[in-house]
């Protein structure tokens, strides 16, 4: 499922899970030990199918917390500050935000691996950023 279950496939899988759950509860009401066992198996299978689709859909991708960051300063925003902000947010750690009116001069942490891609994207938006050298550690 991880490879690309689209909307229709997900809906079909959830529908199949619901059908299995319904069949399991229906068979469980017929009475008899075998019907109870088959009904329980169908209920478990249906529940696992539905939960598998839900987890696949809403689990976030792996975190990028351990990737190295570089700090850049926004020197020009270009004619579309919202697009510039959107580009910066896609290459910055989760939760980073600056209002569009305060973008010029803002310090932005971006993933070092994304720096070249970000430069290209901002050039298309007529926006510019510059590197901020890291602060060397002080020794007491």
User: For residue 2, what pLDDT is reported?
Assistant: 43
User: For residue 75, what pLDDT is reported?
Assistant: 95
Tell me, what DSSP letter sits at residue 99? -
Buried/exposed 34-72: b ≥16 CB within 10 Å, e otherwise: eeeebbeebbebbeebbeebeeeeeeeeeeeeeeebbeb
- Each residue of 31-65: pLDDT tens digit? 778 888 888 888 888 888 888 887 777 765 666 77
Q: How confident is the model at residue 1 (pLDDT cuts 50, 70, 90)?
A: very low
Q: Which is more confidently placed, 80 or 9?
A: 80
- Each residue of 93-115: pLDDT tens digit? 888 899 989 999 999 999 998 89
Q: Which is more confidently placed, 115 or 1?
A: 115
73: helix, strand or coil: strand
Mean pLDDT over 4-25 rounds to 79
Q: Which residue has the tokens 């850049």?
A: 72
User: For residue 83, what pLDDT is reported?
Assistant: 94
């Amino acid at each position: 499922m991880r490879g690309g279950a689209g909307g229709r496939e997900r809906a079909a899988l959830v529908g199949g899970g619901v059908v299995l759950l319904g069949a399991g509860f229906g068979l469980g009401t017929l009475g008899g030990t075998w019907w109870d066992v088959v009904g329980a198996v169908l209920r478990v299978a249906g529940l696992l199918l539905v939960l598998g689709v839900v987890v696949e859909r809403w689990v976030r991708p792996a975190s990028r917390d351990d990737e190295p960051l570089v700090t850049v300063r926004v020197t020009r925003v270009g004619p579309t500050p919202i697009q510039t902000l959107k580009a910066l947010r896609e290459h910055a750690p989760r939760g980073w935000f600056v209002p569009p009116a305060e973008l010029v001069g803002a310090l932005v942490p971006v993933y070092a691996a994304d720096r070249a891609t970000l430069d290209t994207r901002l050039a298309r938006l007529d926006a510019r950023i510059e590197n901020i050298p890291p602060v060397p550690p002080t020794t007491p």
